[in-house]
Chain A
Amino acid sequence: MQALDQAALFLIVLAPLAGSLLAMFMSRDRPKDAWYFAILVAAVTLALSIYIFVRYDYTAGGYQLSRSFGWLGAPLDINLSLGVDGISAPLVLLNGIILMGGVLIAQTIKHRTRDFFVLLLALGAGVFGVFIVRDLFFLFFFYELAVLPMYLLIGVWGSSTDFGTFLRTKEYGAMKLMLYLVAGSVLIWIGILALYLEAGQQGVSTFDMAKLSDLARDGGLDPTVQRWIFPLFMIGFGVLAGLWPFHTWSPDGHVAAPTSVSMLHAGVLMKLGAYGIIRVGMDLTPAGAEFWMPVLIGLGTVNVLYGAISAMSQGDLKYVIGYSSVSHMGYVLMGIATLHPIGVAGAVLQMFSHGIMTALFFVLVGAIYDRAHIRDSHILNGLFKRMGVVSFCFAIAGLASLGLPGFSGFIAEFMVFTGAFQSDVRLGFVPMALLAGGLGVVGAAITAVYILRLLARTFFGEADRQWAHLTDASPVEKGVAGAFVLILVVVGVWPEPFLRVINVSVATLLEAF
């Protein structure tokens, strides 16, 4: 136990990274082996992530399982500091789950299989890294590492789609996604440099987030400077979180991406952005965060409504889910911006919940696309008859996404609203949080509109003869989808294990405000 505690965080990054490197040396001609190997690696990381989550002692709070390895000395003072708190622990678990699901679903990848897993595991490693490091340099390092494989994952294994009026090639989707995310990281990078400089002015020349956080809490950072720095983080990380109007990479990326990649993309990658806003933006520049929160909460509201309204008129299933992700990430941003313990905790829970839910969606859309070679919800119909399990799970995912009680999304969104209604974030005389909460509820209703329309149109009703050949989900798909459904329900009915972990760290986080 002691040894594992010491090594757990290090291992959870090392395992997928080493897996990725080792997979490079596997034979190209035996794709099954690569798949088995990736499953093995993903299983190890999943086990580790569960261990980390369970091991996190919520009564003690703070950062746990911490380790620190020196990397570069003064004046840069970069250390590989690891540690999880109650905000990152659920996200680590989320990544473990989604990575496992993604690897399993990638069974259908037949082309350059080995390379696919090399990149997928590297992506997983990057995401784990972001969630567990306590150093700005390494946070940025892993952040970029998570972005890097996306280009090839989408570009090589993705699909191009002709929508009649416009064409979305996989090259376009991949390139846009990559450029967009790196553009975001440009801002983050500049923000990190500015923060480093400002801290250096105060004699704390370091990238160590613990020290920077302490400095910020002691009032060591000039609030004016913080106000300049925070928007860099807000927009930079916001790009990854799908912050309006920097969201278009996300739906287009989904349309181009293969199933597993969509799962990781919407499931965890977008969470990195929101996590970054919390961990870097709010924790290190609290005064700036406080100043900008009315704007963020406004943008989050726009996200919710804009994403939902856009989703309403989309025909392509992946576009629907893509825009719904934009909408749901809006709740995360909104929750964060309430600066209220319930709202922020709700946002974190929403990250987890949406991760699972949207991954489930993509598993199902992938299953449909693999069989029908089409994703247009106006052409597909009556799928329930041919693909009972897929349709059933899709309905469940749909109900979860419109915030039906009994599923995790409800708890999370409800907490976000609750937080928003008690938060006093305001812009001048305008009670932004209250407005956001109110419009957020409306957004949930719009979600119901497009989800139910989609269900009715595509899954229920008579099936055309052309869909007679469709078969139901494969055992692997059933297993993954079933597991996701189970998680949605369990968290929805009994969120306590998550909330008690999240709450303790959210409370610490909000002490700065």
Chain B
Amino acid sequence: MPGLTENLLLLTPEFALTGLALLVLAVDLFLPESRKGWLALISIVGLLGLAVLSVVMLQGREETLYGGLLAVDRFALVFKVFFLGLGVLIILSSVDFVRKHLSHPGEFYGILLLSILGMNFMAQARELLTAYIALELLSFSLYVLTAYARSNPKSNEAGLKYIIIGAFSSALLLYGLSMVYSSLGTTSFAAIRDALASGAGAGPTLWVGLALLIVGLGFKLAAVPFHMWAPDVYEGASLPVTAYLAIGSKAAAFALVLRLFAEGIVPVVDIWSRWQIIVAVMAAVTMLVGNLVALAQRNLKRLMAYSSIGHVGFLLAGIAALGPGDTLVANGIILYLVGYAVTSIVVFAALIAFFNHTGQEEIADLAGLADRQPFLAAALAIGMFSLSGLPIFAGFTIKFYLFTAVARAGFLWLAALAVFASFISLYYYLQVIRQMYIQPAPGAPPEQSHGHAAEPPPDSNAHGAAPDAASAIPSPGWRLALVLGLGLAGVFWLGVYPAPLVAIIEGASRAILPGG
């Protein structure tokens, strides 16, 4: 048990992150309107610095701070670096968007940084109140960011729905917390595990309390049946925020869920084995609903929302398959989160670049993108292929890994269902690709089908002629290009050789699954 100073020392990155957020907010006050770009730069440099700092300081540390409230371990470190890096990419891809579509960039970046703080704590929390506060820190930031486009009614509506449902779910979560507390007198994950194991204090109050906790977290994950806010919020929020919601908020929630389950419930095998099936069914329903409803979508963001619900289903299958000492499943979940994040960032960066120029976000608006802006189209297509789980992209490897792990844990049926659901998803991802590559650009001559009895058609390769200048889209700015480049590199790298990353993740899984 480290002393107070040591405690504070180990939290240096978090303090520094808070400072960074405040710094950005403060600097904002003094910067003229034309120099607001500096804020992003400060944030990015700060986040990169913090990532390095975290690695240097916390590498190899295994501590529990404040009597079991917070963990400083490999798991937290991996997620910390993940969140910080994600922050960098999100900020990089939002600069152009913010400049063009939003006001008050200072608060935007500041709040974004604070939300990263919340995510960091979510990965570290070992106790329910801490977890709750961290979660609320993240949520509050996201409520604000969602509603950030103040004059956009969709943004308002998204913010309102998000905060109402968010508050409602946190009420459920807190009620669950209070039930856990009233049956145990404490709220640490370890205490829950001990109570379940020994039976002391265990009873309906505890069980229902835990169920309500899961409801609260399920909201955060957008697991069915707690998912309905997600499409609306994703659609209403600004694109960078949608990206952040889809990737960051989800990853943080999974970090928390992973630690809660791995440390609090999974070790008690005889009880966990009875609950597993419930989570598995939830996962199955989630992946089916998400992917089926996505088939019927027209708006890109909404499509990504349902798609992300589908992916949550896959990840939940991983949660259902967790077992004591078995790091394979945990590895699978974390690897999936990373792969999904890398792929999604590519997709969203491409969408942001598209939106920045056109202001459009329907799937049909992408028509002819392959001719209008080939690089964006290629990036988006690669992203879509990766999300649908095709090689040589990240999506294939992570799905194979996760589903194998799930199957190995005794849930072959769930893995099979996941494979099937993933097949359904292919259809709507291909629809996006179809728009970009097959449909002619607006203004290009429409293509005829070659009728057998018809006149000889024009040269069979003449279709899809170069679009007129009006529909062409300039290449994305260097920031988005950088994000896309990094993202694509990640997508290929994970797709081809994930072993180094798996080695790192293995360490993280071991930290929360002792005895593995």
Contact partner, B452, options A76, A147, A316, Cβ 8 Å: A316
Report Cα–Cα, A273/B412, bound state, in Å. 24
29 pairs, CB–CB < 8 Å, chain A vs chain B = A17-B392, A24-B378, A28-B374, A71-B497, A72-B498, A75-B328, A111-B461, A111-B463, A112-B371, A115-B374, A140-B400, A144-B390, A145-B390, A155-B433, A156-B464, A159-B450, A159-B460, A160-B448, A163-B452, A164-B451, A170-B438, A179-B423, A190-B416, A193-B407, A200-B408, A315-B452, A373-B456, A373-B457, A376-B453
Report Cα–Cα, A475/B437, bound state, in Å. 31
Q: Which residues of A contact B328 (CB under 8 A)?
A: 75-76
Q: Which residues of B contact A170 (CB under 8 A)?
A: 438
B34 within 8 A of A: no
Q: Which residue of chain A has its CB nearest to the CB of B503?
A: A73
Q: Nearest Cβ in chain A — how far from B407, in angstroms?
A: 4
In the complex, are the beta carbons of A164 and B434 less than 8 A apart?
Answer: no
Q: Nearest Cβ in chain A — how far from B409, in angstroms?
A: 10
Q: In the complex where A145-B392, A171-B434, A182-B426 touch, is A162 in contact with B419 (Cβ < 8 A)?
A: no
Given contacts A72-B498, A183-B423, 4 further A-B contacts (CB under 8 A): A140-B400, A164-B452, A174-B438, A373-B460
Contact partner, A379, options B422, B427, B452, B460, Cβ 8 Å: B452
Report Cα–Cα, A373/B463, bound state, in Å. 14
In the complex, are the beta carbons of B449 and A161 less than 8 A apart?
Answer: yes
Q: Which residue of chain A has its CB nearest to the CB of B410?
A: A197
Q: Which residue of chain B has its CB nearest to the CB of A74?
A: B328
In the complex, are the beta carbons of A197 and B396 less than 8 A apart?
Answer: no
Report Cα–Cα, A9/B457, bound state, in Å. 44
Q: Nearest Cβ in chain B — how far from A361, in angstroms?
A: 18
Contact partner, A148, options B374, B391, B434, Cβ 8 Å: B391
Q: Which residues of A contact B419 (CB under 8 A)?
A: 186, 189-190, 193
In the complex, are the beta carbons of A152 and B391 less than 8 A apart?
Answer: no
Q: Which residues of A contact B497 (CB under 8 A)?
A: 71
In the complex, are the beta carbons of B420 and A186 less than 8 A apart?
Answer: yes
Q: Which residue of chain B has its CB nearest to the CB of A71?
A: B499
Report Cα–Cα, A373/B459, bound state, in Å. 8
A370 within 8 A of B: yes
In the complex, are the beta carbons of B433 and A151 less than 8 A apart?
Answer: yes
Q: Which residues of A contact B381 (CB under 8 A)?
A: 152
In the complex, are the beta carbons of A155 and B447 less than 8 A apart?
Answer: no
Q: Which residues of A contact B499 (CB under 8 A)?
A: 70-73
4 closest cross-chain pairs (CB), A and B? A160-B449, A162-B451, A373-B456, A193-B407
Q: Interface size on B (CB < 8 Å)?
A: 51
Contact partner, B404, options A145, A196, A379, Cβ 8 Å: A196
Which label, helix, strand, loop or mixed, suits the secondary structure of the B interface?
helix
In the complex, are the beta carbons of B400 and A137 less than 8 A apart?
Answer: yes
Q: Which residues of B contact A148 (CB under 8 A)?
A: 385, 390-391
Q: Which residues of A contact B404 (CB under 8 A)?
A: 76, 193, 196
Report Cα–Cα, A148/B450, bound state, in Å. 26
Q: Which residue of chain B has its CB nearest to the CB of A466?
A: B456
In the complex, are the beta carbons of A110 and B461 less than 8 A apart?
Answer: yes
What 0/1 readout, one digit per residue, does chain A (136-175) give for beta carbons within 8 Å of chain B? 0100111011011001100111011111100101110011
Report Cα–Cα, A190/B423, bound state, in Å. 12
B403 within 8 A of A: yes
A372 within 8 A of B: yes
In the complex, are the beta carbons of B449 and A162 less than 8 A apart?
Answer: yes
Q: Which residues of B contact A185 (CB under 8 A)?
A: 423
Interface centre among A162, A182, A197 (most CB of B within 10 A): A182
Report Cα–Cα, A373/B448, bound state, in Å. 13
In the complex, are the beta carbons of A145 and B434 less than 8 A apart?
Answer: no
A47 within 8 A of B: no
In the complex, are the beta carbons of A160 and B390 less than 8 A apart?
Answer: no
B454 within 8 A of A: yes
Q: Nearest Cβ in chain A — how far from B59, in angstroms?
A: 22
Q: Which residues of A contact B464 (CB under 8 A)?
A: 111-112, 156
A178 within 8 A of B: yes
Q: Which residue of chain B has its CB nearest to the CB of A207?
A: B404
**B: which residues have CB within 8 A of A?**
328, 370-371, 374, 378, 381, 385, 390-392, 396, 400-401, 403-404, 407-408, 412, 415-416, 419-420, 422-423, 426-427, 430, 433-434, 437-438, 447-454, 456-457, 459-464, 497-499, 502
Q: Which residues of B contact A167 (CB under 8 A)?
A: 449
Report Cα–Cα, A194/B462, bound state, in Å. 48
Contact partner, A155, options B374, B400, B416, B434, Cβ 8 Å: B434
In the complex, are the beta carbons of A197 and B447 less than 8 A apart?
Answer: no
A215 within 8 A of B: no
Q: Which residues of B contact A474 (CB under 8 A)?
A: none
Report Cα–Cα, A163/B452, bound state, in Å. 6
Q: Which residues of B contact A369 (CB under 8 A)?
A: 460
In the complex, are the beta carbons of A151 and B456 less than 8 A apart?
Answer: no
Report Cα–Cα, A196/B370, bound state, in Å. 40
In the complex, are the beta carbons of B449 and A76 less than 8 A apart?
Answer: no
Q: In the complex where A72-B502, A148-B390, A155-B438 touch, is A194 in contact with B412 (Cβ < 8 A)?
A: yes
Report Cα–Cα, A174/B497, bound state, in Å. 30
In the complex, are the beta carbons of A76 and B401 less than 8 A apart?
Answer: yes
Report Cα–Cα, A369/B390, bound state, in Å. 33
Q: In the complex where A72-B502, A110-B461, A196-B407 touch, is A156 in contact with B450 (Cβ < 8 A)?
A: no
In the complex, are the beta carbons of B426 and A196 less than 8 A apart?
Answer: no
Report Cα–Cα, A111/B296, bound state, in Å. 32
Q: Which residues of B contact A374 (CB under 8 A)?
A: 450, 452, 456
Interface centre among A17, A28, A115 (most CB of B within 10 A): A115
Q: Nearest Cβ in chain B — how far from A228, in angstroms?
A: 11
Q: Which residues of B contact A152 (CB under 8 A)?
A: 381, 433, 437
Q: Which residues of B contact A142 (CB under 8 A)?
A: 391
Interface centre among A70, A109, A189 (most CB of B within 10 A): A189
A108 within 8 A of B: yes
Report Cα–Cα, A114/B464, bound state, in Å. 15
In the complex, are the beta carbons of A108 and B437 less than 8 A apart?
Answer: no
In the complex, are the beta carbons of A376 and B452 less than 8 A apart?
Answer: yes
In the complex, are the beta carbons of B426 and A179 less than 8 A apart?
Answer: yes
In the complex, are the beta carbons of A162 and B434 less than 8 A apart?
Answer: no
Contact partner, B392, options A141, A183, A205, A373, Cβ 8 Å: A141
In the complex, are the beta carbons of B450 and A160 less than 8 A apart?
Answer: yes
Report Cα–Cα, A196/B452, bound state, in Å. 50
Which residues of A in the span 307-365 have a Cβ within 8 Å of any Cβ on B?
Answer: 315-316
Q: Which residues of A contact B462 (CB under 8 A)?
A: 110-111
Q: Nearest Cβ in chain B — how far from A322, in angstroms?
A: 16
What 0/1 readout, one digit per residue, does chain A (373-391) give for beta carbons within 8 Å of chain B? 1111001000000000000
In the complex, are the beta carbons of A108 and B461 less than 8 A apart?
Answer: yes
In the complex, are the beta carbons of A193 and B412 less than 8 A apart?
Answer: yes
Q: In the complex where A142-B391, A162-B451, A179-B426 touch, is A75 in contact with B461 (Cβ < 8 A)?
A: no
Q: Which residues of A contact B423 (CB under 8 A)?
A: 179, 182-183, 185-186
Q: Which residue of chain A has its CB nearest to the CB of B423?
A: A186
What 0/1 readout, one digit per residue, does chain A (174-213) give for beta carbons within 8 Å of chain B? 1100110011011001100110110010000100000000
Q: Which residue of chain A has its CB nearest to the CB of B449?
A: A160
Q: Which residue of chain B has its CB nearest to the CB of A156?
A: B437
Report Cα–Cα, A151/B497, bound state, in Å. 25
Report Cα–Cα, A156/B436, bound state, in Å. 10
Q: Which residues of B contact A183 (CB under 8 A)?
A: 423
In the complex, are the beta carbons of A141 and B391 less than 8 A apart?
Answer: yes
Q: Which residues of A contact B407 (CB under 8 A)?
A: 193-194, 196-197
In the complex, are the beta carbons of A197 and B408 less than 8 A apart?
Answer: yes
In the complex, are the beta carbons of B396 and A144 less than 8 A apart?
Answer: yes
Q: Which residue of chain B has its CB nearest to the CB of A167?
A: B449
Q: Which residues of A contact B427 (CB under 8 A)?
A: 175, 179
Q: Which residues of B contact A175 (CB under 8 A)?
A: 427, 430, 434
Q: Which residues of B contact A160 (CB under 8 A)?
A: 447-450
Report Cα–Cα, A17/B392, bound state, in Å. 10
Q: Which residues of A contact B449 (CB under 8 A)?
A: 159-162, 167, 169
Q: Which residue of chain B has its CB nearest to the CB of A232?
A: B416
In the complex, are the beta carbons of B426 and A156 less than 8 A apart?
Answer: no
Q: Nearest Cβ in chain A — how far from B380, in angstroms?
A: 13
Q: Which residues of B contact A155 (CB under 8 A)?
A: 433-434, 437-438
Q: Which residue of chain A has its CB nearest to the CB of B389?
A: A144
